[in-house]
Structure 1
Amino acid sequence: MQKTWYLFLIIYTLFYLESVSQNLILSIKGENETETRIIDSIGYLKTHKDLESLKNENSLTKKNLAKLGYIENKIWELKKTNDSTFQSTIHLKKKFDSLYIFYDNKKIDSSTLNLISNQVNTNYFVLKFQNIEQALYTLNTELSKKGFPFSKVKLSNLEIKNKTTLHAHLTTGNLIEKRRINKIVSKGYEKFPKSFTHHYLKIRRNQDFDINTIRTKTEQLSNLRFAKEVKPPEVLFLKDSTTLYLYLEKSKSNNFDGFLGFGTNEETNKLEFDGYLNLNLNNNLNFGETFSLLYKSDENDQKTFEVNTELPYLFNSPIGVNLSLRIFRKDSSFTTVNQNAKFHYQLNSSNKIFIGVTTTESNNTLANNNSLTINDYTTTQYNLAYQFIKPQYNNLLFPIQSRIYFETGLGSRISDTDKKKQSQFLFDLMKIVNFNTKNSLFLKTTGKALISDNYFDNELLRFGGINSLRGFEENSLNATFFAVLNTEYRYQLNNTTYIHSILDSGYLENNIQNNRNTLFSYGIGLAILTKSGVLKLNYANSKNENKPFKLANSKVHISLIANF
């Protein structure tokens, strides 16, 4: 008997709760079918949990109708038709299409009003009723951008002029004193280069204050290696000054890159080693400068020494300079020295343009100087270049999301025998296509062309190796034109490890040897983010169309990129 009573109580409670929580239905009608269709067209919520929600929706519908121009609309009645349904009747009355707004042209200029209206006169402008709310918001935002962060705009003295038109006056508040940035303070990284604030972020003293614009600009700090934003900027308003505070932190931006490669020499069948060291120093003087040093030695008895430096925003100007020195020595055959100077202008955080000059001097170092293909020469070329970089420095495994670099050069080569006009073209494109958090595709294509009437062996373009066409020896391929496509399908095992495929292809032309060749390499790779940096292990095998596949052509590359 007791169990039956409990069961009865449970069933009763469930049915009671169901009846209490029954939804209410709202139906809004107009005075006629035309008005009802207009009300239905704006849409309103018909199902409600309680009576208060239903009444609020009824009032909201009345306001939405007013925004469309039915400013005289009136709710006649809200009545209950049955246990769960309520019917509201709204009389729309006449619709006003336009609002003529009179303004003070000493406070607001017509160029600002042109952003919100296509009918702007000396002392009034015209708005469609459905655009009024958005137009006033836009107007207030524009006034804030012009240095009036506390501006307020509203309409007053609303008058009916005729059947479809209203007149009103625009009232503006807090436009007496324009706010400008008087001082910029970097907190956390007090020695942040002021030139980057001025030219890179484009935040300057005495410019009109607008916090939204400033926050958009400081987001560009994510594109810098040596600094990051730790929290959004803040501002201190005093009676006669405005101070902007940027909250920054200096990042570790130096890195050391090196690799060790080994493979079997086809002629001697002995194990041979090659490798390089690459040191990059960034912003150690708190100037935003970069310095890099590269030393490379490979099994072909080739040695490369290269130094590069970039000095941005010289003398607090938008102009920077890039300087480089490269020395290449080929066994006892020749030595080539390249010197390069470029001036660059940073258009924004991602884009740069360059203009500069490159001089090259090459000397035949053979004891018996009778070579027809190795000659002493000097060249001077004038260069024009463009660079785009989209970084993702918060991702230590893949710090660059995309990159574009084009360079062209025009000049002449002078040798003992003649003087020839020459031109060069270089491109370097890279993109990571992210399918999801674990799978991505890495694509990179590079190429270079030397255009001349004739060529010397010691001016040929040299490529191949871990940073070019993998599976081939470093700088073992010589060409007057080459193009390389690197691809990797990457699978990220976790936040610190990924494996990838290696599938590279290349094409070269050597006009000295009248050689055209298609090259391939394929293999697998592993990358691990350690406390010291990113450790990479690649295994690749090379093949060209004129030679069969050989296991002995395989190369194992080990590299470590350490940040400090």
Structure 2
Amino acid sequence: MQKPTYFLILIYILFSTEGFCQNIQLKIIGASEKENAVIDSINYNKQHPDYQSIQSEVQNIQNKLLKQGYIENQHIGIKKMNDSTFESEIYLKAKFNTIYIYYNKNLIEKSILERISKKVKDDYFILNITEVEQKLNYINSEISKEGLPFSKLKLSQIQKTSEHSLQAKLELETSAQKRIINDIVVKGYKKFPKSYLKHYLKIKPGQVFDLNSIQEKTDQLHNLRFARETKAPEVLFTKDSTTLYLYLEKTPSNTFDGFLGFGTNEDTNQIEFDGYLNLNLTNNLNFGESFTVLYKSDENDQQTFEADLSLPYLFKSPIGIDLSLRLFKKDSSFTTADQAAKLHYQINAKHKIYTGISATESNDLLSNSSNTLSDYKTFNYNFAYEFVSAQSFNRLFPLNSKIYAETGFGERTTNDTEQKQSNFNLDAFKIFNLNNKNSIFIRTEGATLISDNYFENELLRFGGINSIRGFEENSIYATLYGVINTEYRYQINNNIYIHSIIDAAYYENKISDTHEKLFGYGFGFGLLTKAGLFKLNYANGKNEDSNFKFSNSKLHLSLLANF
């Protein structure tokens, strides 16, 4: 007897489970075929697990119909047709297309309404029914920007004015007193330079409180190298004060960058080495300051030393100062010393402008020099603009785009003459992200020196890993040049990428009457390690009229370490 009993229980459980898992069908109909077509266009969910889900779906359909203008739609009821099918009737009735909304001009500015409606009068404005919710949310957000974060809008006294039109009164519920930021508290990075709150993020006590604006401003912290936001801002409201909390942490911002390059000397057929060291110290005094030292020595017996100091927001003002020193020696031919001082103003987190002066002194070291070398001094007035945009989600490429443009006007003085001169420099790049793994990098760099005559020791110098790849460092002298670097990058994972190298350049040298096009081709990869970003580039350079030679190839190694 026990076995048949167990068998029957098993059959009951199996069939019961199947019944419990069976979906219920919902069909919604209107009062006519036309109404049925409107309901079907909503694409409502027809499969449901239980009766409660059906009721929720019917309510959802009514709300959607309401937003489309069927504000008088009526739900007749839900009928059970059989064990698996339910039918609901909703009569749509008339559709309303427009609504006349009356408002108090002392509470809501007419200029706000003119952004959302083409028909705004002194006491009312007109909207399409389908836009009402979206437009009212916009009005409410604009009112919140005026320091009224708890404002509420609602339509009252809704009436029919014609067969397809309505009218209503717009009511505003808000506190009598506007909210302002009374205090700003930084959590985590307590020594965060306060000047950056006021002049970089543009957030300070006494401002009208607007949470959306604050979130947009704190997003600009991604452009800072020495700090990051750990979580979204929070606000503490009390009866008579508003306190803003920012959650930040200090990040490693010092960098050490260097590379080692080697290639074959065409004359001696021997391997020659070149390289540079670049040390950047940022925000070690919690002031936002930056100090950079660069030393470079290459196979052309050229030595370069550069030092830059940037001090932002002097005396808590929006003005900062940049000082620089550059020393260059070309074997035993000449030396050049450049000094510059600039004042900068941070317009916002992405834009910065500069103005300043620079002076250059160059000495001819050859006793029997030709007319192409000469002692000279220059003095220039300079103006510059900088734009920086970050992409903090990518550890390998934290900057998405950058533009730096500078121009200078002045004169060059030799022993017996003065010569008016001007110059222009541009350095810009942009990363085009195709998807999470593929991107295209394009950089353009160029400079020109405009003068009636030129000396060899004042010419522009370019070439190498930071210019056109496949050529020796600073081996090309020009009065005008332009370089385009392109890379197709494939990111294998968050720490490794490979890329192509296709570079092109054009330059002119008016001393030697040279006009030439250069090309560089190759490949490379980058590896983000605990020590920093290690990069290897292999590139071969050629001019327009020559053939490729493997002996001209350059292998560049560099390591950018953060600490």
The TM-score with structure 2 as length reference comes to: 0.89
Tell me the equivalent position of 1:278: 278
- By how many angstroms is 1:361 displaced? 2.4
Tell me the equivalent position of 1:267: 267
Preserved contact between residue 342 and residue 355 of structure 1 (Cα < 8 Å): yes
Query: In the aligned structure 2, how far is the partner of 1:106 from the partner of 1:235?
Result: 29
Tell me the equivalent position of 1:377: 376
**Are the structure 2 counterparts of residues 116 and 547 from structure 1 closer, same or farther at C-alpha, using a change threshold of 3 Å?**
closer
Aligned to 1:512, what secondary structure does the other structure show?
coil
Query: In the aligned structure 1, how far is the partner of 2:315 from the partner of 2:492?
Result: 47
Aligned 1:21-170 pairs, distance under 5 A: 21-161=21-161, 163-170=163-170
Preserved contact between residue 277 and residue 296 of structure 1 (Cα < 8 Å): yes
Q: Residue type of the partner of 1:461? A: L
- By how many angstroms is 1:467 displaced? 1.7
Provide, for residues 34-68 of structure 1, a one-character-per-residue CA deviation record: whole Å limited to 9, x for no partner.
Answer: 43344444443333333222233223333333333
**Are the structure 2 counterparts of residues 484 and 60 from structure 1 closer, same or farther at C-alpha, using a change threshold of 3 Å?**
closer
Preserved contact between residue 225 and residue 393 of structure 1 (Cα < 8 Å): no
- By how many angstroms is 1:383 displaced? 3.2
**Are the structure 2 counterparts of residues 498 and 180 from structure 1 closer, same or farther at C-alpha, using a change threshold of 3 Å?**
same
Aligned 1:279-298 pairs, distance under 5 A: 279-298=279-298
Preserved contact between residue 358 and residue 380 of structure 1 (Cα < 8 Å): yes
Query: In the aligned structure 2, how far is the partner of 1:551 from the partner of 1:119?
Result: 72
Query: In the aligned structure 2, how far is the partner of 1:30 from the partner of 1:395?
Result: 53
Preserved contact between residue 280 and residue 291 of structure 2 (Cα < 8 Å): yes
Tell me the equivalent position of 1:234: 234
Tell me the equivalent position of 1:330: 330
Provide, for residues 147-206 of structure 1, a one-character-per-residue CA deviation record: whole Å limited to 9, x for no partner.
Answer: 112222223344445554444333332321211101111111112122211122121211
Aligned to 1:186, what secondary structure does the other structure show?
strand
Query: In the aligned structure 2, how far is the partner of 1:292 from the partner of 1:409?
Result: 23
Preserved contact between residue 481 and residue 508 of structure 1 (Cα < 8 Å): yes
Tell me the equivalent position of 1:519: 518
Query: In the aligned structure 2, how far is the partner of 1:498 from the partner of 1:84?
Result: 56
Query: In the aligned structure 1, how far is the partner of 2:421 from the partner of 2:33?
Result: 81
Tell me the equivalent position of 2:541: 542
Query: In the aligned structure 2, how far is the partner of 1:379 from the partner of 1:324?
Result: 16
Aligned to 2:131, what secondary structure does the other structure show?
helix
Which runs of 5 or more structure 1 residues have no equivalent in the other structure? none
Q: Residue type of the partner of 1:297? A: S
Preserved contact between residue 343 and residue 355 of structure 1 (Cα < 8 Å): yes
Query: In the aligned structure 2, how far is the partner of 1:169 from the partner of 1:501?
Result: 64
- By how many angstroms is 1:241 displaced? 0.9
**Are the structure 2 counterparts of residues 4 and 517 from structure 1 closer, same or farther at C-alpha, using a change threshold of 3 Å?**
farther
Q: Residue type of the partner of 1:386? A: Y
Tell me the equivalent position of 1:216: 216
Query: In the aligned structure 2, how far is the partner of 1:518 from the partner of 1:131?
Result: 58
1:409 and 2:404 correspond: no
Preserved contact between residue 107 and residue 175 of structure 1 (Cα < 8 Å): no
- By how many angstroms is 1:489 displaced? 4.1
Q: Residue type of the partner of 2:339? A: Q
Query: In the aligned structure 2, how far is the partner of 1:522 from the partner of 1:136?
Result: 57
1:451 and 2:442 correspond: no
Deviates more, 1:456-465 or 1:400-409: 400-409
CA RMSD of aligned residues (A): 3.1
- By how many angstroms is 1:373 displaced? 0.7
**Are the structure 2 counterparts of residues 412 and 142 from structure 1 closer, same or farther at C-alpha, using a change threshold of 3 Å?**
same
Aligned to 1:280, what secondary structure does the other structure show?
strand
- By how many angstroms is 1:329 displaced? 1.8
Which runs of 5 or more structure 2 residues have no equivalent in the other structure? none
**Are the structure 2 counterparts of residues 542 and 107 from structure 1 closer, same or farther at C-alpha, using a change threshold of 3 Å?**
closer
Query: In the aligned structure 2, how far is the partner of 1:62 from the partner of 1:393?
Result: 43
Tell me the equivalent position of 2:255: 255
The TM-score with structure 1 as length reference comes to: 0.89
Aligned to 2:305, what secondary structure does the other structure show?
strand
Deviates more, 1:199-208 or 1:254-263: 254-263
Tell me the equivalent position of 2:310: 310
Query: In the aligned structure 2, how far is the partner of 1:434 from the partner of 1:110?
Result: 42
Query: In the aligned structure 2, how far is the partner of 1:241 from the partner of 1:472?
Result: 63
Query: In the aligned structure 2, how far is the partner of 1:145 from the partner of 1:490?
Result: 42
- By how many angstroms is 1:251 displaced? 0.9
**Are the structure 2 counterparts of residues 269 and 70 from structure 1 closer, same or farther at C-alpha, using a change threshold of 3 Å?**
closer
- By how many angstroms is 1:551 displaced? 4.3
Tell me the equivalent position of 1:466: 465
Query: In the aligned structure 1, how far is the partner of 2:128 from the partner of 2:55?
Result: 29
Tell me the equivalent position of 1:496: 495
Tell me the equivalent position of 1:388: 387
Tell me the equivalent position of 1:422: 421
**Are the structure 2 counterparts of residues 180 and 541 from structure 1 closer, same or farther at C-alpha, using a change threshold of 3 Å?**
same
Deviates more, 1:82-91 or 1:176-185: 82-91
**Are the structure 2 counterparts of residues 155 and 256 from structure 1 closer, same or farther at C-alpha, using a change threshold of 3 Å?**
same
Q: Residue type of the partner of 1:72? A: E
Deviates more, 1:209-218 or 1:103-112: 103-112
Q: Residue type of the partner of 1:509? A: E
Tell me the equivalent position of 2:352: 352
Query: In the aligned structure 2, how far is the partner of 1:166 from the partner of 1:399?
Result: 53
Preserved contact between residue 454 and residue 511 of structure 2 (Cα < 8 Å): yes
Sequence identity percentage: 58
Preserved contact between residue 259 and residue 558 of structure 1 (Cα < 8 Å): yes
Tell me the equivalent position of 2:529: 530
Tell me the equivalent position of 2:340: 340
Tell me the equivalent position of 2:243: 243
- By how many angstroms is 1:394 displaced? 5.8
Tell me the equivalent position of 1:182: 182
**Are the structure 2 counterparts of residues 165 and 504 from structure 1 closer, same or farther at C-alpha, using a change threshold of 3 Å?**
closer
Tell me the equivalent position of 2:171: 171
**Are the structure 2 counterparts of residues 162 and 282 from structure 1 closer, same or farther at C-alpha, using a change threshold of 3 Å?**
same
**Are the structure 2 counterparts of residues 274 and 143 from structure 1 closer, same or farther at C-alpha, using a change threshold of 3 Å?**
same
Provide, for residues 271-318 of structure 1, a one-character-per-residue CA deviation record: whole Å limited to 9, x for no partner.
Answer: 433322211111122222212111222232222121222222333333
**Are the structure 2 counterparts of residues 474 and 150 from structure 1 closer, same or farther at C-alpha, using a change threshold of 3 Å?**
same
Instruction: Tell me the number of residue pairs that the alignment of Structure 1 and Structure 2 aligns.
Output: 563
Provide, for residues 391-427 of structure 1, a one-character-per-residue CA deviation record: whole Å limited to 9, x for no partner.
Answer: 3456443333322233333333333454433332322
- By how many angstroms is 1:218 displaced? 0.9
Preserved contact between residue 395 and residue 494 of structure 2 (Cα < 8 Å): no
- By how many angstroms is 1:246 displaced? 0.5
Q: Residue type of the partner of 1:485? A: I
Query: In the aligned structure 1, how far is the partner of 2:78 from the partner of 2:110?
Result: 46
- By how many angstroms is 1:494 displaced? 4.4
